[in-house]
Amino acid sequence: MYYPYARPLYVMAKAAGPLCNLRCQYCYYLEKQHLAPSLNPSPEEEGSVTDKSLPPREGMRGAMSDSLLESYVRDYIQLQQTPEVLFTWHGGEPMLRPLSFYKQAVRYQQYYGRGRQISNSIQTNGTLLTPEWCRFLHDEGWLVGLSIDGTKEMHDAYRVDAKGEGTWQRVVDAIHMLQDYGVEWNAMATVNHANVSQPLAFYTFFRDELHCQFLQLSPVVERIRHHSDGRHLAQLFDENCAIAPYSVKPAEWGKFLCDIFDEWVRHDVGEMFVNVFDATLAGWMGVAPGICVYAEECGHAVVMEHNGDVYSCDHFVFPQYRLGNILTNGLPQMVYGEKQTAFSRLKKDSLPRQCRECLWLKACHGECPRLRFLHTADGEPGLNYLCAGYKIFFQHVAPYIDFMRNELLAGRPASGVMTAFV
Ligand code: SF4
Ligand code: SF4
């Protein structure tokens, strides 16, 4: 039994599949190219790529065909029951597809949208941005999520190109170009071994040098497991795997969050938006946070690969989490079907007792299931690797978040917290 129109349906479309022009050392998606023949292109898909500036073979693999693009845009719009339809373009690196691909997507959106409000966001490493792209992004009102990990030293530690060279300067140039053209953007920053020990330098770089208003933090945690097909990262059920060296440690993550929170809560509430802090306040208020990892249930945003295959989540693009293909299975059947419903519920249903009885459950909800590979003190599986860090963070921010919640409930702005604790 599924309820097709009970909630918005989100699909992250991988226009260029797992292909990327960079080789960020902590990337979990690039190695999807090894995963299954289904993620390699058909001859039709190969023929659809028109960007001749890319290396021949590299440019041809993993490209969404024009016929698939049209089917996807049509079906996605028709299935949405909300007035606004949001398209999300992800990678790999989605800008490996030529601008003509996205112009075509917009034409299909206009044709099949028939006057509905259509929004687009694109998550990019920024290195392929050009003035022509910026004009398009501005004129069409697209939101750009740009990946940057902080200062040059922090960013270049892992975000390198195919030659192993740092990409920071190109990304900063891209941000300035977006700003010059008036394109709306936000920053997606991973927190990893190279930047976790410098929280203030990290935060003030985004605030004071990039003038970033929306900062999305994402902790890097991967485990190593070598596979015969060339992949090197572990899945949730793999046991006894070493933590990858670029990962954050739990206590480091907790301290990092505390330190930037202390700066934010005194100076920037209402001016700068940090996803973890917003989600924490939402949890305290009893409303759904904007990020799946802190929600009670998840699985509301599926991934569609370039060949039309749909998976449960960006972090679960593995054969056992394949829901079907957009050309042969309906999107609502996949998104609201039994398999994805079970995936959604697992986040809540698999919580160990330690989480169910935790003081911070309202804001944490056991965080992301992909990181639940620890055992609790009494031996129960399913504890999140970052748990110890979250306990440090929630304990530290509780008085401030209590205050902010009370202000909001009283109809006053939460920004009063900036002067309440001096
Ligand atoms: S598994 Fe993690 S990343 Fe995927 S939808 Fe659930 S919380 Fe989000
Ligand atoms: S802080 Fe730890 S115990 Fe509490 S809900 Fe989060 S992961 Fe579970």
Q: Which atom of ligand 2 is nearest to the CA of 364?
A: 6
400 phi and psi, to 5 degrees?
A: -70, -45
Torsion over CA: 196, 199, 204, 207 (sign): positive
Beta bridge partners of residue 214, listed in sequence order: 273
Residue 197 CB neighbours (<10 A): 14
Find the helix or strand (DSSP H, E) in which 273 lies: strand 273-274
How far does residue 357's CA lie from ligand 2's centre (Å)?
9
Local structure of 299: helix, strand or coil: coil
Tens digit of pLDDT for each residue in 5-16?
A: 445 778 999 999
List the catalytic residue out of 314, 349, 378, 402: 314
Rounded to 10°, the helix 168-180/131-140 angle is 50
pLDDT of residue 340: 94
Rg (CA), the chain: 21
**For the chain, which residues score pLDDT lower than 70?**
1-7, 32-62
pLDDT of residue 324: 95
Give CA–CA dist 352/275, Å, rounded. 25
pLDDT of residue 79: 84
How far does residue 255's CA lie from ligand 2's centre (Å)?
16
CB distance 354 to 380 below 8 Å:
yes
Ligand in closest contact with the CA of 365: 2
Q: Which atom of ligand 2 is nearest to the CA of 388?
A: 2
Q: Helix, strand, coil shares of the chain as percentages rounded to 5?
A: 45, 15, 40
pLDDT of residue 56: 31
314 catalytic residue (yes or no): yes
CB distance 272 to 213 below 8 Å:
yes
pLDDT of residue 411: 97
pTM, entire model: 0.91
DSSP letter string, 407-419: HHHTTS-GGGHHH
The stretches of 49-167 forming alpha helices (DSSP H) are 56-60, 66-79, 99-113, 131-140, 152-156
pLDDT of residue 2: 39
pLDDT of residue 55: 34
| CA end-to-end distance (rounded Å), the chain | 54
pLDDT of residue 253: 98
Which residue puts its alpha carbon closest to atom 2 of ligand 1?
A: 368
Give CA–CA dist 145/119, Å, rounded. 14
pLDDT of residue 230: 75
349's CB contacts (< 8 A; 6+ apart) are none
Which residue puts its alpha carbon closest to atom 3 of ligand 2?
A: 355
pLDDT of residue 240: 87
pLDDT of residue 61: 57
Local structure of 123: helix, strand or coil: strand
